[in-house]
């Protein structure tokens, strides 16, 4: 099992900074883009390859200016992902955890999410969403501990359902004015990049941006393996 899977966002951020040659804070827009790459299923090594390609093209033009956003790498990352998908046609594989240590790491990740949920659940506006999420996490943990070796992608998919339940539970209790403010902020942030991505990717990035603001509003963690080490 490849444990770098858990460090997807951190690895991308650190690699970008190393290629750029100077530290910078990654923007909420860049985080939303990385979330979109994860959702589409772009492997970490493909993202890093795309970033390499983007920086090589930038250096070839010898502009002397630094790249100031991960968004600059989007076209090259998608190009590398297309090549990766073409190369894998006909292959099979389910990314199953193949050792006890891998299962234990997944179980530890689920327990950590249970703890984080417990810390914020008291003031959460939708207790039914909390109850459903707790039950799903408990069932998932039981399956990991007592069942056959889990498939990482299947675990991640279940966590994404949990995430959606909590985000939507928060969204339903926000005022229309607050939601509109998040939408306006997302639209403004994405304005200069809209023509650089497909309509589908634009919608995904915009929704991820809004979801990030909703999570910040309620204090709920993001339910994904990608943030857990």
Q: Would you say 83 and 45 are in contact if contact means Cβ atoms under 8 Å apart?
A: no
Whole-prediction pTM: 0.74
The predicted-structure confidence for 94-117, as pLDDT tens digits, reads as follows: 555 656 777 888 898 899 999 999
**Given this model, what pLDDT does residue 53 score?**
92
Mean pLDDT over 31-49 rounds to 89
Mean pLDDT over 49-65 rounds to 83
Long-range contacts of the stretch 26-32 (C-beta < 8 A, 24+): 26/70, 27/69, 27/189, 28/189, 28/209, 28/212, 28/213, 29/69, 29/71, 29/189, 29/190, 29/193, 29/205, 29/209, 30/69, 30/70, 30/71, 31/208, 31/212, 32/205, 32/206, 32/208, 32/209, 32/212
Q: What is the mean pLDDT of the chain?
A: 84
Q: Helices 100-120 and 152-171, interaxial angle, to 10°? A: 10
* Least-confidence region, from 27-36, 123-132, 150-159: 150-159
| % pLDDT > 70, the chain | 89
**Given this model, what pLDDT does residue 128 score?**
92
Burial of 192 (0-12, 13-18, 19+ CB in 10 A): exposed
Which of the four pLDDT bands, split at 50, 70 and 90, describes residue 62?
low
Q: Would you say 2 and 99 are in contact if contact means Cβ atoms under 8 Å apart?
A: no
pLDDT at 66 over 90: no
The predicted-structure confidence for 73-96, as pLDDT tens digits, reads as follows: 999 999 999 988 887 665 545 555
* Least-confidence region, from 19-23, 141-145, 212-216: 19-23
Closest CA to 16 of 44, 51, 58, 57: 51
């Amino acid at each position: 099992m490849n444990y770098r899977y858990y460090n997807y966002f951190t690895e991308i951020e650190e690699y970008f900074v190393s290629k750029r040659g100077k530290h910078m804070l990654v923007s909420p827009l860049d985080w939303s883009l990385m979330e979109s790459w994860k959702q589409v299923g772009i492997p970490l090594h493909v993202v890093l390859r795309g970033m390499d390609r983007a920086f090589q093209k930038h250096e070839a033009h010898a502009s002397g200016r630094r790249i100031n956003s991960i968004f600059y790498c989007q076209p090259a990352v998608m190009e590398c992902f297309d090549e990766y998908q073409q190369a894998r046609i006909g292959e099979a594989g389910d990314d199953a955890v193949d050792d006890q240590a891998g299962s234990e790491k997944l179980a530890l990740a689920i327990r950590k999410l249970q703890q984080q949920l417990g810390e914020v659940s008291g003031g959460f506006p939708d207790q039914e969403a909390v109850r459903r999420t707790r039950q799903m996490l408990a069932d998932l943990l039981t399956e990991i501990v007592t069942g056959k070796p889990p498939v990482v992608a299947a675990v991640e998919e279940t966590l994404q359902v949990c995430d959606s339940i909590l985000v939507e539970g928060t969204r339903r209790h926000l005022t229309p004015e607050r939601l509109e403010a998040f939408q306006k902020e997302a639209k403004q942030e994405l304005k200069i990049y809209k023509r650089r991505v497909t309509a589908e990717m634009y919608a995904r990035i915009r929704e991820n941006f809004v979801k990030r603001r909703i999570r910040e509003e309620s204090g709920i963690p993001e339910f994904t393996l990608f943030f857990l080490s």
